[in-house]
Amino acid sequence: MHPALQGLLTIILGVGGCVGYFYFSNQFLDKVLFPAKGPNAGKNINRANVIRPWLFLFPALAALGLYLAYPVVETLRMSMMERVPGGEQRFVGLDNYRQMASEPKFWEAIKNNIMWLLIVPALSTAFGLLAAQLSDRVRWGNIAKSLIFMPMAISFVGAAVIWKLVYDTRPVEQDQIGVLNAMYLFFGGSEPNTWLTMPFWNNLFLMIVLVWIQTGFAMVILSAALRGIPEETVEAAVIDGANPFQIFFKIKVPQIKGTIVVVWTTITIVVLKVFDIVFAMTNGQWETQVLANYMYDKLFRANDWGVGSAGAMIIMLLVTPILIWNVYNARQEMN
């Protein structure tokens, strides 16, 4: 069957199935199981209303459980197993973790991930804050925001191509077609550099791609927060003779601290999962490995599910504090 047709059929089946499920399960509950008539009408309505939420929730809960909750447990289990010839698995305790800890590539990934975690959220938030503050003060601010926000719509792979062109290198006797080398030579550099193969620095060049994408997100959220600041506080500061920088750093930033933390943690999670950019631009060569790509390597290139799962658990471990913090905040807010 043609995939497009199959897709159309799936939409119809999926949507129809969902609507059908919700409609008929409700009908069944109200008309057959607990009809709202006869001697037990009142009791039946109450019973039906106890069950109904679960009818509404069931498909979502099933999907969440199967596609997100179960894998966490299963990956934890697999990270302590080893495949033996014949398709069987054997419990090996923490051996996979031990083996992982003995690999220099793993420590390289950890080291790079820490760098990513420090630099990308910081730069994205800083640039986002700057863009938000500046664009709120000029008339063409909305156009500026649109343009800075635009990379959000571009795929990591697309961004990788865009930035590969920026970092492109030609032999010294030819014209440079990459902007970075052209500028480098223009400002007195002697020889074009192959930016993506310079250990340590190439990590920064990869991070710039993510900063470029995430700044728009930070800007949008922070801009809304800046607008929510009560006018009076700013006015009072102006009357007291504060200069614009003082107003920004001493009056505005402290008031949006909460939002800055939210932006920071959200970008942190994106960073922890960063895969496509490294995969497409260097594939972890030249000391640019990161955890997500290391894990992918183990799972699908080396076919080592045990160590791969252990790598995935490390990512999960790093996400967990943020997860707990988010849940805690959400509960506070509901109360």
Q: Identify residues 29-58 at the interface with another protein (CB under 8 A).
A: 30, 49-50, 52-54, 56-57
Nearer Cβ to another protein (119/154): 154
Name the segment binding another protein (CB under 8 A); options: 85-93, 100-108, 117-125, 316-324.
316-324
Comparing CB distances to another protein, the nearer of 132 and 203 is 132
Q: Does 302 bind another protein (CB under 8 A)?
A: no
- By CB under 8 A, the residues from 237 to 266 that bind another protein are 238, 244, 258-259, 262-263, 265-266
* Backbone φ/ψ region at 242: left (φ over 0), alpha (ψ -120 to 50), beta: beta
CA distance linking residue 114 with residue 122, whole number of Å:
12
Give the CA-trace dihedral at 262, 263, 264, 265, to 10 degrees.
Answer: 50
Stretch that binds another protein, among 96-104, 116-124, 168-176, 194-202 (CB under 8 A): 168-176
Q: Which of 94, 179, 250, 285 touches another protein (CB under 8 A)?
A: 179
Q: Which of 101, 122, 161, 302 touches another protein (CB under 8 A)?
A: 161
Q: Which is nearer to another protein, 94 or 177 (CB)?
A: 177
Whichever of 88 and 175 has its CB closer to another protein, that residue is 175
200: alpha, beta or left? (left if phi > 0; alpha if psi -120 to 50)? left
Closest CA to 129 of 231, 234, 268, 264: 264
CA pair distance 175, 188, nearest whole angstrom:
15
Q: Is 144 among the residues that bind another protein (CB under 8 A)?
A: yes
What CA–CA distance (Å, rounded) separates 149 from 215? Answer: 7
Q: Nearer to another protein by C-beta: 14 or 189?
A: 14
Residue 275 in the binding site for another protein (CB under 8 A): yes
- Determine the size of the site formed for another protein (CB under 8 A): 121
- Determine if 215 is a binding residue for another protein (CB under 8 A): yes
CA distances from 214 to 18, 78, 117, 211, 289 (A): 35, 33, 13, 5, 21
CA 98, distance to chain mean position in Å, is 28
CB of 118 to another protein, least distance (A): 19
Q: Which stretch binds another protein (CB under 8 A): 101-109, 113-121, 178-186, 197-205?
A: 178-186
| Integer Cα distance of 216 and 146 in angstroms | 8
Task: Spell out the alpha helix ranges (H) of 136-256.
Answer: 141-149, 156-166, 179-186, 201-227, 231-239, 244-246, 253-255
In the complex, what is the shortest distance from the CB of residue 14 to another protein, in angstroms, rounded to a whole number?
4
3-state secondary structure of 84: strand
Q: Which of 182, 198, 204, 251 binds another protein (CB under 8 A)?
A: 182
